[in-house]
Structure 1
Amino acid sequence: MGNYGAPPPGYPGQGQPMPAYFADPLANVAMQYGQSLAGQGKDIVNQNLEKWISISTLKFYFAVDTKYVARKLLVLFLPFVIRDWSIKFPPSQCVAPREEPNAPDLYVPAMAFVTYILTTGVLLGTQNRFTPEDLGGQASQILAWLIVEILLVLLTFYITNISSNLRFLHLLAFTGYKYVGMVVCGVMSMFLSRWGYRVALIYSSVAIVWFFLRSLKVYVLPEVMSADRTGYRRRLWALLFITALQPLMIWLLTRQICSFEAPAAVAPPPVSY
């Protein structure tokens, strides 16, 4: 009855020595050294990453609000009804999308990419083809083609000797907007089979072409270049090439998933008695 306050067996009491690893100075030094190495490694990663992509600049492309996202989706779905495509800030200036409705962002492309991967998983499941490997392969394929597309755009600018206000993150944002149309293709294919996919593919292609021609014109075809016919013509062809890549990529990335039809089941031969 008088042992309620006694510690259980094996538990170090006040008169018992603490375990060795609590009092070992070498363990403390090793822990501090490991924390120091982790901090140095983090600094090295941030410094090398800053050489390619500025983290502070990257945050601007995710500075969106609900109003901006709703308007951007409207622009992507119904670009034909939009009248004002101008940008109030200089194209070379990095501005938060919530302050400029026509500025590119990375939030909508990122969410559209994730949504399309989830839609692909559902489609593969309805087609009895779902495996984690196939879903990961689809994500890797989309990212690989995104890199190829950006390299093609940069190569086009280099060959045609065009200098534009398009940053790398601008290109990443604009080329990622087609994922919204790919989601539409996936959903239509899910509910209306192959014919729904074809209708969605045609509409999404026309919409993304219209969107690119109106949005990229500010960056690729500035007004001051209209007097220089040779330079203006080169920029126009570059704009048309970049725009033509979008419906091609939508078809290339969705055709194997959205237009798939399972083979019809073969009826067993009749049993003769």
Structure 2
Amino acid sequence: MYNNNMGPQPGIPMPQSVPQQPNPFGNAFSGPGSGLIRSGLGAYGEKIFGSSSEYVQSNITRYFSDPQYYFQVNDQYVRNKLKIVLLPFLHRGHWARISEPVGGRLSYKPPIYDINAPDLYIPLMAFGTYLVLAGLSLGLYGKFSPEALNWLFVKGMVGWFMQVMLLKITLLSLGSGEAPLLDIVAYAGYAFTGLCLAVLGKIMWGYSYYVLIPWTCLCTGVFLVKTMKRVLFAEARSYDSSRHHYLLIFVALAQFPLLIWLGNISVNWLF
């Protein structure tokens, strides 16, 4: 029988145990101060990622805003807004937007509570009506076709884009280029409301178009100038130099060639 519990044999040296080196970081996360260290790192990480998310969110809000904001409208707002866009000379109220504190910051009230707030409901509906009236006008002259309507859609989108770029470049030139993009898109799209009246007048009585289209250009120019001075600029009094006046006059005058081009319903791209 073999004995498995053999003790140390004489003459055979026993292996010496190597002393364990102390790890200076071994108790950093498991020692008495581990909770303090973990809480400190967590707070630091939360501060970094929290500030980053707030920065991204603030920039998204600054340049794009919330799309749902632009569709908070009712019948009364639509009627009053159309009066301001089509007859800006008769608007006797102020042009400034109404703000309210939300979450410690000032935020503008939605269109349903502020007649001077921009919306996308009227521009989109006006653009759709413009296409319908343009197709009807082509049909009366025997020129309607899906391809022609497609060209008019592209032409309208190009005109809308040109209007947006005109307003954006003007704002950058005036030192106020931080307006939300959807605000500018909305202001640029209001031009289609007057275009609808001009095209409708052309359908009902051809000669009325030559009266309605200059009126549309004039009213759109006045509306944009007043809007950019009193709504998009935080301090209108600081924009009284001749340079700023010339740029705003340029915006108003640019409506004539742009809207005349859009109001000319034909199968040709330029004329």
**CA positional deviation for 1:145:** 2.3
Contact 1:87 1:102 in 2 (8 A): yes
1:202–1:134 CA distance, 2 compared to 1 (3 A):
same
Corresponding position of 1:138: 152
1:108–1:167 CA distance, 2 compared to 1 (3 A):
same
1:170–1:56 CA distance, 2 compared to 1 (3 A):
closer
Contact 2:99 2:109 in 1 (8 A): no
**CA positional deviation for 1:240:** 2.1
Aligned length: 204
Corresponding position of 2:43: none
Larger CA deviation: 149-158 vs 122-131: 149-158
Distance 1:179 1:251 in 2: 12
Contact 1:63 1:97 in 2 (8 A): yes
1:243–1:255 CA distance, 2 compared to 1 (3 A):
same
Gaps of 5+ in 1: 1-49, 259-273
Which amino acid in structure 2 is aligned with residue 109 of structure 1? P
Gaps of 5+ in 2: 1-58, 101-105
Distance 2:61 2:138 in 1: 36
Which amino acid in structure 1 is aligned with residue 187 of structure 2? F
Corresponding position of 2:181: 168
Distance 2:254 2:67 in 1: 25
Mark the structure with the bigger radius of gyration.
Answer: 2
Calculate percent identity across the aligned residue pairs. Answer: 24
Contact 2:130 2:196 in 1 (8 A): yes
Corresponding position of 1:211: 223
Which amino acid in structure 1 is aligned with residue 120 of structure 2? L
Distance 1:148 1:203 in 2: 20
Are residue 64 (structure 1) and residue 100 (structure 2) matched?
no
Distance 1:257 1:181 in 2: 18
**CA positional deviation for 1:233:** 3.1
Corresponding position of 1:200: 212
Are residue 112 (structure 1) and residue 121 (structure 2) matched?
no
Which amino acid in structure 1 is aligned with residue 223 of structure 2? F
Contact 1:184 1:200 in 2 (8 A): yes
Distance 1:206 1:221 in 2: 25
**CA positional deviation for 1:54:** 8.1
User: Normalized against structure 1, the TM-score is what?
Assistant: 0.66
